[in-house]
C-alpha cells in the first residue's frame, strides 16, 4: 500500500512517515499544500494523511480540489483538538476520518488500516483467502494457523493483493502502489516477489493471468462444489 503524508511540521512529518513505514507501507511526503496537491493529483495513493493548516495552500482547499477532480482515495485529516469547526469543514470537503493533535501514532495506524479496509470492501482487520490469513493489525501472515515469515516487500505485495481479492491486478498497478516515488521501480521484480511468496506460502492462492497480471483467490480445490450423491 502506498500512502502520502502532507504535514508542514518536519519533525511530525518524519514521525508519521517513520511510523507508517514501520508498519509496512510505502510512503511519500510533502511539506506544503501546493506540493501535496500536486502529488495527490498525479500519483495513485491508497490513502492520504493530510494536515489542515498548511502553508501555500490550506488542507481544506487541497482536499476540495482533489474531490472536484475525481480523486477518491481515503483521506485522514489532522486537526487541532479544540478546532471542531476544522473537523466539520474537513468532512464537508470530503475527508473520511480525522485525528486530533496531539495524537498517538497507534491511533493514526489504526485509522489508516480501517480506511484501507473500507476502501477495499473489507470489514475485518484479518484478511483470509483459503488457508492464508493476513493480520493487518500485527502485520503477520499465517497458513493454516502457522506463521510465515515474509520480508517487508513480500508482505506489502501480499497485503495489496489480498486487499483486492477476486480482482485482477496488473503489474503496473502493483509497481505504482508498492513503492514510493524515490524507489527504482522495475516491474520484473514483481515476478521475483510473487515466486518467493508462492514458495513461502506453499498454497496456490496467487494466480498468474497471462498478459493481465495477478489474481488472489482460494485454491481451486476449495472453490469446486462438492459432488452430489445420488439418492
What are the boundaries of each domain within the chain?
2-119, 126-222
Question: Rounded to a whole number, what is the distance in angstroms from the first to the last CA of the chain?
Answer: 51
Please answer whether residues 180 and 25 qualify as being in contact, where contact means their C-beta atoms are separated by less than 8 angstroms: no
Average of per-residue pLDDT values in the chain: 88
Instruction: Give the three cell numbers for residue 164.
Output: 483486492
Instruction: Give the three cell numbers for residue 93.
Output: 470537503
CA-atom Rg of the chain in angstroms: 19
Report pLDDT digits (tens) over 21-64. 998 899 999 999 999 999 999 999 999 999 999 999 999 999 99
Phi, psi of 184 (to 5 degrees): -75, 100
Report pLDDT digits (tens) over 159-199. 999 999 999 999 888 888 887 766 655 657 788 889 999 99
- For the 2-119 domain, the top CATH level (class) is alpha beta
Query: pTM for the full model?
Result: 0.77
Report pLDDT digits (tens) over 97-142. 999 998 999 999 999 999 998 888 887 888 999 999 999 888 899 9
- Residue 211: the pLDDT is 86
> How would you label 96-127 residue by residue, b for 16+ Cβ within 10 Å and e otherwise?
bbbbbbebeeeebbebbbbbbbebbebeeeeb
CATH assignment of 126-222, given 1.10.10.10, 3.40.640.10, 1.20.140.10, 3.40.50.300? Answer: 1.10.10.10
Amino acid at each position: 500500500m502506498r500512502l502520502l503524508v502532507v504535514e508542514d511540521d518536519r519533525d511530525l512529518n518524519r514521525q508519521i512517515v517513520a511510523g507508517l513505514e514501520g508498519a509496512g507501507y510505502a510512503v511519500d511526503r510533502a511539506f506544503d499544500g501546493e506540493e501535496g496537491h500536486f502529488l495527490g493529483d498525479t500519483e495513485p495513493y491508497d490513502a492520504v494523511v493530510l494536515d489542515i493548516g498548511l502553508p501555500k495552500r490550506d488542507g481544506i482547499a487541497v482536499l476540495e480540489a482533489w474531490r472536484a477532480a475525481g480523486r477518491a482515495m481515503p483521506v485522514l485529516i489532522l486537526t487541532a483538538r479544540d478546532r471542531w469547526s476544522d473537523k466539520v469543514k474537513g468532512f464537508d470537503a470530503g475527508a473520511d476520518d480525522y485525528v486530533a493533535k496531539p495524537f498517538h501514532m497507534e491511533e493514526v495506524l489504526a485509522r489508516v488500516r480501517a480506511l484501507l479496509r473500507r476502501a477495499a470492501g473489507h470489514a475485518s482487520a484479518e484478511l483470509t483467502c483459503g488457508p492464508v490469513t493476513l493480520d493487518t493489525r500485527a502485520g503477520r501472515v499465517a497458513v493454516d494457523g502457522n506463521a510465515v515469515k515474509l520480508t517487508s516487500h513480500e508482505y506489502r505485495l501480499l497485503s495489496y493483493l489480498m486487499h483486492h481479492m477476486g480482482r485482477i491486478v496488473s503489474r503496473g498497478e502493483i509497481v505504482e502502489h508498492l513503492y514510493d516515488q524515490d524507489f527504482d521501480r522495475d516491474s520484473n521484480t514483481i515476478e521475483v516477489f510473487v515466486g518467493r511468496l508462492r514458495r513461502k506460502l506453499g498454497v496456490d492462492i496467487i494466480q498468474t493471468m497471462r498478459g493481465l497480471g495477478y489474481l488472489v483467490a482460494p485454491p481451486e480445490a476449495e472453490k469446486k462444489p462438492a459432488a452430489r450423491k445420488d439418492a
